[in-house]
Chains A and B, each alone.
Chain A
């Protein structure tokens, strides 16, 4: 069983479209994250949710909106896609994010988004 799973694995779409990437974890973790890996391979955090509550919201355009229907899911919705949004997006989870808890992060396989 995949611990953190993302769908789709590949996504090719035209500029201006709206798309969603889904993420699910079956580890029973309380915290989930979205990271973006750019062309230079740097991974940068975008959002994190703890118990369905938004905790981290980095400087990300308003076109990006995370949605957490429950603790096991954190979906990423992107409106009005732009060429610069092309990247690999990774979902991750950890048991918790508080000091004293296990914050080891487990990552999904990534979603390669190409905007044309």
Chain B
């Protein structure tokens, strides 16, 4: 059974600092890995999707890396802003088409 862990559970940084969010998964036989953002009372917004054959994906200030063999992914957010405050969720899709989610990292960026 796939287990996804995100560390740390919460993170508070001053504005401008770079953010590093970690995600690990137990079964490396994944189809892809997706990072989401969840704002309080709102749905999930897809940030980046990395196929199992890829090593990283970039979108603006966001960069996500994937090391499938070691079961790890890292989301980097450069030059953080107060608007980046949210919960970030990592999810892996297994060969049976199911997304398994981590519990998330709650980020607070202080102005």
Binding site for B on A (CB under 8 A): 4, 33, 35, 40-45, 48, 55-56, 58, 90, 92, 97, 99, 103-110, 112
Contacts and interface: CB of A to CB of B under 8 A. Distances in A.
14 contacts: A40-B103, A41-B103, A42-B101, A42-B103, A43-B91, A43-B99, A56-B96, A97-B97, A99-B31, A104-B46, A107-B46, A109-B42, A109-B43, A110-B41
A56 B31 CA distance: 16
A92 B87 CA distance: 18
B43 A107 contact: yes
A56 B46 contact: no
Given A41-B103, A107-B36, A4 B87 contact: no
Interface of B is mostly: strand
B98 A45 contact: yes
B97 A55 contact: yes
Interface of B: 31-32, 34, 36, 41-46, 49, 87, 89, 91, 93, 95-99, 101, 103-104
Contacts of B89: 43
A106 B83 CA distance: 21
B104 A41 contact: yes
B87 A56 contact: no
> Which of A35, A40, A103, A112 has the most chain B CB atoms inside 10 A of its CB?
A103
B46 A41 contact: no
Nearest to B97: A97
B36 to A, nearest CB: 7
A90 B34 contact: no
